[in-house]
Amino acid sequence: MHKLSFIDRFHHWRRKMRWNKQYKKGKWSYLNDERESSRYHKIVDYIKTYATTNPSILDLGAGEAVLNQRLNKNEYKTFFNVDFSSASIDIAKTKKLENSVNLVADIHTYTPDETFDVIVFNEAFYYVHNDLKQDVLDRFIGKLNSEGILIVSIYKEGTDCWELIDASSKIQQLNFEKVATDRESTYWKVGVYKKV
């Protein structure tokens, strides 16, 4: 964060305020819709296929904890929902999901004390400021357990995201798929990586 100029930090703060406003208005409740479900389904599928059993999971930019909801409580040990929007975390808290921690924190600066079996950037990595993407990626790879996996979902092609992830020598791709919907223009790419 210290790498950002005053004006960039100001814009970042304004974006956070915008997210809060939008969550309060219910603008993001559509993420619970059927069309979106294939994306969450793919992430859950990757967790079940590639993660250790009963994993600890960190979801960065977790919003209203929709991914957490898609897992049964016996499918994870702990689930950390982290988002810089307090309004989204307030909604997450109302769900009272078991073994879940809901935390207001900024990906730009958040450094958890714990390490995790699964770390997820579900439609969140492209919001990280370009000057901080490498730092954020490296910081969270460093928070993976030795058998840990990183899962990234990005709407359409994204910009300056996959290039950075693919170039990292600290992770190795296990799978990468395009998740399509009934609408041609709506698709995501979802990758899963292990620590090397």
Number of residues that bind ligand SAM (CB under 6 A): 18
Q: Which of 51, 57, 62, 91 binds ligand SAM (CB under 6 A)?
A: 62
Residues within window 24-53 making contact with ligand SAM, judged by CB under 6 A:
31
Per-residue mark of binding to ligand SAM, 123-142 (x: CB under 6 A):
xx--x---------------
Q: Is 148 in the site for ligand SAM (CB under 6 A)?
A: no
Secondary structure string (H, E, C) spanning the chain:
CCCCCHHHHHHHHHHHHHHHHHHHHCCCHHHHCHHHHHHHHHHHHHHHHHCCCCCEEEEECCCCCHHHHCCCHHHCCEEEEEECCHHHHHHHHHCCCCCEEEEECCCCCCCCCCCEEEEEEECCHHHCCHHHHHHHHHHHHCCEEEEEEEEEEEECCCCCCHHHHHHCCCEEEEEEEEEECCCCCCEEEEEEEEEC
Q: Is 117 in the site for ligand SAM (CB under 6 A)?
A: no
Residues within window 76-105 making contact with ligand SAM, judged by CB under 6 A:
83-85, 88
Of 33 and 169, the one with the shorter C-beta distance to ligand SAM is 33
Q: Is 68 in the site for ligand SAM (CB under 6 A)?
A: no
Q: Which of 80, 116, 122, 171 binds ligand SAM (CB under 6 A)?
A: 122
- Which chain residues interact with ligand SAM by CB under 6 A? 19, 31, 61-63, 66-67, 83-85, 88, 106-108, 122-124, 127
